[in-house]
Chains A and B, each alone.
Chain A
Amino acid sequence: MSAWILVPAVFASLLALGWAGRLAGQKATGNAPTYRDMPLAVAFGYAFALALVVAGVWLYLQPATLDGAPRASVIFWRWAVHFLAASAVAAFVFRLAGRHIGTEGTKKAFRNMPLTAAFGILVVLIYALTAIFAGWIAPHGQSQVFATANVVPGGNAALGGNPEFPLGTDQIGRDILSRLIYGAQNTVGIAFATTLLAFFLGGTLGFLAATLQGWVDQVLSRLVDVLMAIPSLIFSLLLITVASAWVSGAGLTAAMVVIIAVIDSTRVFRLSRAVGMNIVVMDYIEAAKLRGEGLTYLIFREILPNATAPLLAEFGLRFCFVFLTISALSFLGLGIQPPLADWGTMVKDLSAFINYAAFAPQIASAPLLAAGAIALLTVAVNFVVDWMLQRSSGLKE
């Protein structure tokens, strides 16, 4: 129960700290507008942020072992801090490099880029390279089974590791590092292909509907309304059930790609139709129509060049969505089928290791790495898209 008394106590002391800090600021600066016009809520916010930073530093500085046993909280916290610091440094260096290397156009883009976007681009590049060269990078095959199962990550033989398998092996003796690397190829590659298919389908139909209007638009739009009335994960699970009666293994993976692409193309249709509609009402389209231009010229020369910016941003977002859907399906055991290595499946298979985290933090890292790999790419793509959207909205003004 004492924990519940702690909450208001902490709140009150932070409020007092904020109030005192504001007062001190007013006194020190001779009532400068910054402190004079500061609401108490803002002062509280600063106090709260300060408390968070202090708590973080305190936890970081704690000893990593207590009476010989590892303190997992401290170790995980340090890993997180190290990862964040390394990412920030890498993004900073990458942006610096981008400002000095490349064409005038790319240099200019890097000059106004926030650090988050630089980080996003860097991560996307690394994933792309890993996916393309997985066969060269990975030390072992993705479905190669070794005699030594359940090797502990870390490569330290004293703790049950093996330098040959830096991240250890899974329950049936496959190298986790290799499977992670191949996972980039399979999970990302399949998600990318699915998104491309969805865009091809949805984009074509969307622009057709916007340009032709009339009954074509009506029929397609109503159809999309119905398909979108079913939650997409539920709908894909239903269709995968049906597909599983016909095909299995690699065939089922292919079926899943088609199913998700079709379901996702409804969203692409909505967007490209809306974007197309906005362009079609422009006077330059009317001028082209009155000139007597044909449908092909209208779509490819007048509409598409003006739709690329919003569509590119949407491609990023749709990719994230498809990628997460496929990962979720794989996690449920209904997505990418073995023997292909895949991150969602790996999380499911390795999830039991998390329960060992309290006394052996490195063991728990394997499933978290696979799940983190998914999250990291989606975060990166979102950062890039966020930046692109902000840039294009800024240009309009």
Chain B
Amino acid sequence: MTDLLLEMHDVQIEGRSDETWMPIIKGVDLILKKGEVLGLIGESGAGKSTLGLAAMGFTRDGVRISGGTVTFDGIDLRTASAETKRQLLGKRIAYVAQSAAASFNPAHKLIDQHTEAPVQHGTASKAESMADGIELYRRLRLPDPDEIGFRYPHQVSGGQLQRAMTAMAMATRPDLIIFDEPTTALDVTTQIEVLAAIRDIVEQFGTAAIYITHDLAVVAQMADRIKVLLKGEEVEEAETREMLSAPKEDYTKSLWAVRAFQRPAKPAPATDAIPVVSVQTVTAAYGKIPVLHDVSFDIHAGRTVAVVGESGSGKSTTARVITGLLPQSAGVVELDGEPLPADYRKRSKDQLRQIQMIYQMADTALNPRQTIAEIVGRPVEFYTGLKGHAKRNRVAELMEQIELPASEYADRLPSELSGGQKQRIGIARALAAEPKFIICDEVTSALDQLVAEGILRLLARLQDDLNLSYMFITHDLATVRSIADEVVVMKDGRVVEQGRKAEMFRPPHHPYTDLLLSSVPEMDPDWLTNLLAERGVHNIGDAAAASIK
């Protein structure tokens, strides 16, 4: 086969931890033809990035390729000299990193970094490369392409930097580009622009690419073929459409099935029912910077309200106002129809008990020096006064509810639990207070999809059993679809739209809601193409461009 570009055979990679070498990649094969895009997906810790870098013959410090072969266009990258590899990197193989903001050198202008590889490898003169760079910026639809290259990285926004980095990878017209989660750090509305730009330019130049991501819907738009990794081993590989329609392995099927979890919305509460929590015309500021303007919504007993929006929209600030960590400057928060003191220090023990929180990062939410029994037992003792045997029984009961038997887990430290188990302990701690209302702040966004699914199911069951009310803060609309009864959309500290879930997912919408909803990638390989066509027709893309600035 003459059009074979990259061949990795039985590659094994090890990482150094605690004076011993632990396997990261346990014998993976990978074949890439010229002009082909391969999607590499897997959960965190699957070894995707390590494998991607190994395709360039590169390992990070404390990592080594311990077995197998990596052959790029007939050159054995494992035995090639440092000089030979240096001549390939940046010339025939290029790399686009996850964080463009950190991967551009802060001391140089974008265009100077763009021209470095062509000039150093002798593929173009500085002037030629500069002109080409400006042309690439134009093709990637960067605003002000003639000028933007003469800025320093910190003067340019994240989505634009990511496109500038793609342009930089293209500078020498390489045969292969490794994209390492290029859109993970971006908001959905920004992500779509970057995705479209990357896909267009890869197609135009016929560049082969390995596209690494944990997002199935994203990889479905970008790749010709998909390879699924789990804990350093290949699960399966197939053409994109085939993989989406007929996955073979159980693990892959389970990944696809996550999207299927959907709970029917509960009927609307009676009109005269007193909401458990009522946020009324709340305005708040950090120092002199206003962050919330006139925010109002109600949360009724046994219902889930999802608060959605991009970073900086004021979702988490709303939670801080409700808990009393950030006293509002105007407006009221009511609990069961009674106004709450603005500052949590002025609230009664019972008021504090009724409102509990579950945090995004379970790692920072649990004290690493306390055992699970101490973490869950403290609120039990603090609020109910139970001690000794009674307290231990209550902790065991709570652990039963979160499906982690106390006999096995009670004496462990948080560091001895997995991410999903830690999150369950966070839930048990909230339940220990026997609250009416729980704020869930991005509780699933740090977790892998399967684990997140388990947490959502658990929360749904607990709501039914204990008649709990949830405020669900999230930026992930799939989560909203699966668990919410009502939705509140926020942007720049204001409520843009709110209503029942069924209404929210049916047009017509406020333009921002529409932009937000339509930007969430779907598991359809034609989704991006269709969407771009649609936006081209209806010209909604301008709204996207405006929101990106």
Q: Which residues of chain A have a CB within 8 Å of any CB of chain B?
A: 33, 36-37, 112, 282-284, 286-287, 289-293, 301-302, 305-306, 394, 397
Residues of B within 8 A of A306 (CB): 367-369
Contacts of B325 in A (CB 8 A): 286, 289-290
Q: How far is the CA of A189 from the CA of B386 in the complex (A)?
A: 47
B1-41 contact mask (Cβ, 8 Å, vs A): 1 or 0: 00000000000000001110000000000000000000000
Q: What residues of chain B lie closer than 8 Å to A394, measured between beta carbons?
A: 18
Contact assessment for A291 and B433 in the assembled complex, using a CB-CB cutoff below 8 Å: yes
Interface size on B, residues (CB 8 A): 30
CB distance from A65 to the nearest CB of B (A): 48
Chain B residues within 8 Å of A33, by CB: 79, 81
Give CA–CA (A293, B17) in the complex, Å. 39
A283 and B323 form a contact (CB under 8 A) = no
Kindly supply a per-residue 1/0 record for chain B positions 325-356, scoring 1 wherever the CB is within 8 Å of any chain A CB and 0 otherwise: 10000000000000000001001010010010
Q: How far is the CB of B66 from chain A (nearest CB, A)?
A: 15
Contacts of A292 in B (CB 8 A): 347, 349, 352, 382
Residues in A whose Cβ lies below 8 Å from that of B378: 291
9 contacts between A and B (CB under 8 A): A112-B19, A283-B365, A284-B365, A287-B365, A290-B344, A291-B382, A291-B433, A292-B347, A306-B369
- Which residues does chain A contribute within 8 Å of B349, judged by CB atoms? 292
A397 to B365, CA, bound (A): 18
B464 to chain A, nearest CB (A): 25
Cα A302 to Cα B374 in complex, Å, equals 11
Q: Mark B367-407, 1 if CB is under 8 A from A, else 0.
A: 11110000000110011000000000000000000000000
Contacts of B368 in A (CB 8 A): 306
For chains A and B in complex, what number of residue pairs have CB atoms within 8 angstroms? 54
Interface residues of chain A: helix, strand, loop or mixed (majority): helix
In the complex, which residues of chain B have a beta carbon less than 8 angstroms from the beta carbon of A286? 325, 357
- Is the beta-carbon distance between B365 and A37 smaller than 8 angstroms? no
Nearest CB of A to B425, in Å: 11
B48 at the interface (CB under 8 A from A): no
A293/B382 contact (C-beta < 8 A), A284-B364, A284-B365, A302-B367 known: yes
**A284, B344: Cβ atoms closer than 8 Å:** no
Residues of A within 8 A of B537 (CB): none
**B19 contacts across to A, CB distance below 8 A:** 112
Asked whether, in the complex, the Cβ of A37 is within 8 Å of the Cβ of B429, the reply is no
Closest beta carbon of chain B to A186's beta carbon, Å = 37
Chain B 63-86 interface 0/1 with A at a Cβ cutoff of 8 Å (1 = within): 000000000000000010110000
Please report the C-alpha to C-alpha distance between residue A289 and residue B357 in the assembled complex, in whole angstroms. 12
Distance in angstroms between the alpha carbons of A293 and B367 in the assembled complex? 15
CA distance A33 to B57 in the complex (A): 15
Complex Cα–Cα for A37 and B86 (A): 12
Asked whether B361 lies within 8 Å of A36 as measured between CB atoms, the reply is: no
**B297 on interface, CB distance cutoff 8 Å:** no
Among B357, B364, B433, point to the contact of A282 (Cβ < 8 A): B364
A71 to B378, CA, bound (A): 72
B447 CB to closest chain A CB (Å) equals 16
Does B140 belong to the interface (CB within 8 Å)? no
Residue of A nearest to B367 (CB): A284
**Complex-state Cα separation, A306 to B79, whole angstroms:** 47
Evaluate contact between B344 and A289: CB separation under 8 angstroms: yes
Known A-B contacts A287-B429, A290-B344; the reply to A397 vs B17 at CB < 8 A is yes
* B359 close to chain A: CB less than 8 A: yes
Chain B nearest Cβ from A31, distance in angstroms: 9
Docked Cα-Cα span, A287 to B428, in Å, equals 13
Check: B366 CB closer than 8 A to any chain A CB: yes
CA–CA, A135 and B344, complex, Å: 59
The answer for the CA separation of A348 and B135 in the assembled complex, in Å, is 75
Task: Kindly provide the distance from the CB of B494 to the nearest chain A CB, expressed in whole angstroms.
Answer: 26
* Complex CA–CA separation, A112 to B20 (angstroms): 11
| Shortest distance between the CB of A277 and any CB in chain B (Å) | 14
Report how far A283 CA is from B366 CA in the complex, Å. 7
Cβ–Cβ contact A283 & B382, under 8 A: no
A301–B371 alpha-carbon span in the complex (Å): 12
Given contacts A290-B344, A292-B352, 14 further A-B contacts (CB under 8 A): A33-B81, A37-B82, A284-B366, A287-B359, A287-B429, A290-B324, A290-B355, A291-B352, A292-B347, A292-B382, A293-B382, A301-B370, A302-B367, A306-B367
Contacting pair A290 B352 (CB below 8 A): yes
Q: How far is the CB of A338 from chain B (nearest CB, A)?
A: 47
Q: Which residues of B contact A305 (CB under 8 A)?
A: 367, 369-370
**Residues of A contacting B347 in the complex (Cβ-Cβ under 8 angstroms):** 292
User: What chain A residues lie within 8 Å of B17 (beta carbons)?
Assistant: 397
Distance in angstroms between the alpha carbons of A33 and B18 in the assembled complex: 26
Q: Which residue of B lies closest to A279 (CB)?
A: B367
A306 to B364, CA, bound (A): 12
Question: What is the chain A residue whose CB lies nearest that of B374?
Answer: A301
